[in-house]
Amino acid sequence: MKTVNADYFDGKSARVHRVRLTLSDGALLLEGEDIQRRDPLESLRVSEPMGAAPRLIKFPDGAHCEVSDHAELSNLLRAGGHRDSLVVQLQSHWRWALMAMIITLAGIAAGYRWGLPAVAEWIAFKLPDKALAQVGESTLAFLDKGVMMPSELPRERQKALRTAFEKLSAPDDKEVGHEVVFRNGKAIGANAFALPDGTIVVTDQLVSLAKNDQEILGVLAHELGHLKRRHSLRMLIQGSIVAFGVAWYLGDVSSVAAGFPTLLLQARYSRDHEREADDYAAAMLNSNGISPSRLAELLSRMEEAYAARQKNQGEPDANFGGYLDSHPATSERIKALESE
Ligand SMILES: [Zn+2]
The mean-pLDDT minimum among 118-127, 140-149, 263-272 falls in: 263-272
Per-residue confidence (pLDDT) for residue 78, from 0 to 100: 76
Higher pLDDT, 23 or 107: 23
Output the CA 323–ligand 1 centroid distance in Å. Answer: 11
Per-residue confidence (pLDDT) for residue 161, from 0 to 100: 96
Tell me the average pLDDT across 257-281.
78
Tell me the average pLDDT across 23-44.
88
Domain coordinates in residue numbering, the chain: 4-81, 83-126, 127-338
- pLDDT at position 165 over 80: yes
Q: How far is the C-alpha of 165 from the C-alpha of 156, rounded, in Å?
A: 14
Per-residue confidence (pLDDT) for residue 319, from 0 to 100: 35
Output the CA 194–ligand 1 centroid distance in Å. Answer: 9
- pLDDT at position 323 over 60: no
Answer yes or no: are the C-beta atoms of 140 and 201 closer than 8 Å: yes
Per-residue confidence (pLDDT) for residue 327, from 0 to 100: 54
Output the CA 105–ligand 1 centroid distance in Å. Answer: 32
Answer yes or no: are the C-beta atoms of 231 and 280 closer than 8 Å: no
- pLDDT at position 329 over 60: no
pTM: 0.62
The mean-pLDDT minimum among 39-43, 164-168, 227-231, 237-241 falls in: 237-241
* pLDDT > 70 in the chain, percent: 82
Output the CA 239–ligand 1 centroid distance in Å. Answer: 18
- pLDDT at position 313 over 70: no
- pLDDT at position 250 over 80: no
Which of 162-167's residues contact partners 24+ apart within 8 Å by CB, and which partners?
A: 164/213, 164/217, 165/217, 165/220
Per-residue confidence (pLDDT) for residue 215, from 0 to 100: 95
- pLDDT at position 118 over 90: no
Mean pLDDT of the residues in the chain: 82
| CA 109 distance to own-chain centroid | 8
Output the CA 73–ligand 1 centroid distance in Å. Answer: 64
Measure Cα distances from 192 to 183, 199, 204, 333, 339 in Å.
10, 10, 10, 16, 23
Output the CA 302–ligand 1 centroid distance in Å. Answer: 12
- pLDDT at position 322 over 50: no
Per-residue confidence (pLDDT) for residue 311, from 0 to 100: 72
Output the CA 130–ligand 1 centroid distance in Å. Answer: 24
Per-residue confidence (pLDDT) for residue 159, from 0 to 100: 96
Residue 257 one-letter amino acid? A
- Please state, as a whole number, how many other Cβ atoms lie within 10 Å of the Cβ of residue 181: 13
Query: Residue 318's pLDDT band (boundaries 50, 70, 90)?
Result: very low
Query: Residue 253's pLDDT band (boundaries 50, 70, 90)?
Result: low
Q: How far is the C-alpha of 116 from the C-alpha of 106, rounded, in Å?
A: 14
Environment of ion ligand 1 (residues, CB < 5 A): 274, 277, 327
Per-residue confidence (pLDDT) for residue 267, from 0 to 100: 65
Tell me the average pLDDT across 146-157.
92
Tell me the average pLDDT across 171-184.
87
* pLDDT > 90 in the chain, percent: 33
Output the CA 74–ligand 1 centroid distance in Å. Answer: 63
- pLDDT at position 317 over 50: no
Output the CA 255–ligand 1 centroid distance in Å. Answer: 28
Reported as a single tens digit per residue, the pLDDT across 56-92 is: 999 989 999 999 988 888 888 777 766 555 445 555 6
Answer yes or no: are the C-beta atoms of 236 and 263 closer than 8 Å: yes
Q: Into which CATH architecture does domain 4-81 fall?
A: Roll (2.30)
The mean-pLDDT minimum among 115-124, 169-178, 193-202, 304-313 falls in: 304-313
